[in-house]
Amino acid sequence: MPITVTPTGAALGAFVTGFDARQITAEDARALNDAFLKHHVIVLRDQHLTDAEQVEFGKCFGEIEKARYISPLSGRDDIMVISNIRSDDGKPLGQLPDGEMSFHFDRIHQAKPCRGAALYCIETPSEGGDTCFSNMVMAYEALPEATKAKLAGKVAVNSFSYTATSRDMKDQGGPRATHPIVRTIPETGKKSLYLCRLMTDRIEGMPEAESNALLDELCDHIENPRFIYQHKWRVGDILVWDNRCTCHARTDFSGAERRLMKRVTIGDNAMPMA
């Protein structure tokens, strides 16, 4: 069956059909990477993957990074389990267990943040727990010229506390990294905003009040629905995002229902460049 790529109709994202993620040819991998670069988020539905098959699939997009924590729900160091499932004594068996998450880029607090991720849905609550993606290329292009000029050459400090899911938990002395606030995606030459509500602390070389006000304004801008695709999960979905030019958030969901997702994190071979 030929591969077809159908845009979601929102500001980013495309559904890719005609593809079994367990059987990847070099030609398939090229088509997937083209769709990834063009649409920033791609969704494959009705997939049936073991952990090992998910890791092999992830390799179409780059090298796989290790998870920080090996979950008993996988037992592998190349699978990050994202789940609210708990042990008998109430301890989460996966990471990022509960509820809403503010907009963020995965691993922006590292010197070399990841290029992308492939998230596979195994269990999903009946309502909520959607993942929302903002198109940061489109958000940059929509800025007034005066704001673009103000941001040119600026860098921002990004930090993360490993248990944080919202802004008020930000910057608890965790790891941090400084990156350009506007980065260029090497393959496309497009400029993309690189800041987010959960992890960006301050713009360097700017008085604190001015930096806070500008970050608030930019965070409101990138969270405008006109830049967003909201993905409602179905069991068997695998979704791959370009973590360099999209940031993502999660909507709230009931703790009484189970959510089980497995993420393969795709490393980058270059640091973010202005």
Give me the 169-208 binding string for ligand SIN, x by CB under 6 A, dash otherwise.
Answer: ----------------------------------------
Distance from C-alpha of 264 to C-alpha of 35, rounded to nearest angstrom: 18
Smaller CB distance to ligand SIN: residue 39 or 263?
263
Give me the 55-94 binding string for ligand SIN, x by CB under 6 A, dash otherwise.
Answer: ---------------------------x------------
Smaller CB distance to ligand SIN: residue 11 or 199?
199
Give the residue from 131, 164, 140 showing the smallest Cα distance to 221: 140
Smaller CB distance to ligand SIN: residue 207 or 255?
255
Q: Distances from the Cα of 227 to the Cαs of 64, 137, 140, 206, in angstroms? A: 28, 9, 10, 27
Residue 1, classified by CB atoms within 10 Å of its CB into exposed (0-12), middle (13-18) or buried (19+), is exposed
Give me the 253-272 binding string for ligand SIN, x by CB under 6 A, dash otherwise.
Answer: --------x-x---------
Q: Enumerate residues 6+ apart whose C-beta is below 8 A from 207.
A: none
> Which residue in the set 21, 35, 40, 106 belongs to the binding site for ligand SIN (CB under 6 A)?
106
Does 250 contact ligand SIN by CB under 6 A? yes
Residue 226 DSSP class: G
**At its nearest, how many Å lie between ligand SIN and the CB of residue 82?**
5
CB 61 within 8 A of CB 121: no
**At its nearest, how many Å lie between ligand SIN and the CB of residue 104?**
6
What is the size of the binding site for ligand SIN (CB under 6 A)? 8
Smaller CB distance to ligand SIN: residue 31 or 260?
260
**At its nearest, how many Å lie between ligand SIN and the CB of residue 173?**
21
Give the pair of three-digit tokens for residue 37: 């670069």
**At its nearest, how many Å lie between ligand SIN and the CB of residue 239?**
9
Q: Which amino acid is at 147?
A: T
Which residues is 130 bridged to in the sheet?
Answer: none
Q: Distances from the Cα of 254 to the Cαs of 100, 143, 257, in angstroms? A: 10, 36, 6
Smaller CB distance to ligand SIN: residue 143 or 199?
199
> Which residue in the set 47, 131, 135, 192 belongs to the binding site for ligand SIN (CB under 6 A)?
131
**At its nearest, how many Å lie between ligand SIN and the CB of residue 103?**
10
CB 61 within 8 A of CB 33: yes
Q: Which residue has the tokens 């506007």?
A: 182
Distance from C-alpha of 104 to C-alpha of 243, rounded to nearest angstrom: 9
Which residues here bind ligand SIN, judged by CB under 6 A?
Answer: 82, 96, 106, 131, 248, 250, 261, 263
